[in-house]
Amino acid sequence: MFKTILKPFAKLFDFQARTHYRMERHSMALTAGIIVAASIGGFVEIAPLFSIDDTVEDVPDMRIYTPLEQAGRDIYIREGCYACHSQMIRSLRDEVERYGPYSLAVESKYDHPMLWGSKRTGPDLARVGDKFSDDWQVRHLVNPRNLVPESVMPQYAFLLETELKTSDMPGRLAALRAVGVPYTDEMIENAENDMKGQARPETEAADAVMDRYGDDTAVRFFDGRRDRVTEMDAVVAYLQILGNLTDLAQTSQPQAEE
């Protein structure tokens, strides 16, 4: 019985083997076959991108990263934080109850590269923004075990002593605009001043940051220091905006799946 059922498949496999063997003997035929197979695979992957404007939500209150927050994101990537922390809350009840509303596609609209991930040596950070105070974040980065004794996270105390480099941010924003992030010429031109202004609330530059990026922009001494803008300022500013780029997930309160 099984031989009868498998007989057609055996003939098919034999035909494929003979065809492949003949193609291997003729390099042009093999090359053509590879091109056809790669073209089909490429079309399947690329075709959905033509409708991406219809599949990614357009949220009116969606905001972009300020230069300081973007600098913090770059440092976060530089230090490999994404290797232990995901930024993707899945639609599972235990994740929603622990971390908050599950992640929406639009929340990563301006992320280059994406930092979704699935490795969680540490907790997911998609909604860590404003969950803890700036002081908590600084103390945690300086020495995680002072606040979480069982933590295996490395220390990043050097961020507090490293002055933030600002000269390359205009070019960084220009590159991001080239891939779709709507930074204006004014934002790019004033990127360096805006980085300093967001971490110096007593200056005129602070008002300029809010004029360009919105009144809800957090402007304060993120690292608690007033003498200079550090990499710690940038990282904390970035962490505090995670999950707060739009209110859609919080206001819609999507239901978790069982």
* Residues whose CB is less than 8 angstroms from the CB of residue 26 and which lie 6 or more positions away in sequence, other chains included: none
Per-residue pLDDT tens for 113-169?
Answer: 999 988 899 999 999 999 999 999 999 999 999 999 999 999 999 999 999 999 999
- The per-residue pLDDT for 31 is 85
Return the pLDDT at 251: 78
Domains of the chain: 2-55 (no CATH), 67-252 (1.10.760.10)
Q: What is the pLDDT of residue 198?
A: 97
Helices 2-24 and 27-46 meet at what angle, rounded to 10?
Answer: 110
State pLDDT tens for residues 51-60: 666 666 678 8
Look at 32-46, 149-163, 185-199 and tell me which has the smallest mean pLDDT.
32-46
Report the chain's mean pLDDT, rounded to a whole number. Answer: 89
Nearest to 196 by CA among 155, 226, 175: 226
Sign of CA dihedral 111, 112, 115, 116: positive
Which pLDDT belongs to residue 51? 67
- Average pLDDT of the residues in 179-199: 96
pLDDT of residue 88: 95
* Nearest residue to 70 (alpha-carbon basis) of 250, 217, 254, 247: 217
Task: Give the HSE-up count for residue 240: Cα atoms under 13 Å, Cβ half-sphere.
Answer: 26
The structure tokens 């991930």 sit at: 117
pLDDT tens digits, 4-15: 665 666 666 676
Q: Are 242 and 128 in contact (CB under 8 A)?
A: yes
pLDDT at 28 over 70: yes
Residue 256 above 50 pLDDT?
A: no
Measured between alpha carbons, how far is 192 from 188 in angstroms, rounded to an integer?
A: 8
**% of the chain residues with pLDDT over 70:** 88
- Give pLDDT, residue 175: 97
How do residues 14-23 score in pLDDT, each as one tens digit? 767 777 677 7
Q: What is the dihedral of CA 159, 147, 65, 123, to 10 degrees?
A: 120
Q: Rounded to an integer, what is the distance from CA 193 to the centroid of its chain? A: 25
Cut 0.95: pTM above it: no
Q: What is the mean pLDDT of residues 208-216?
A: 94
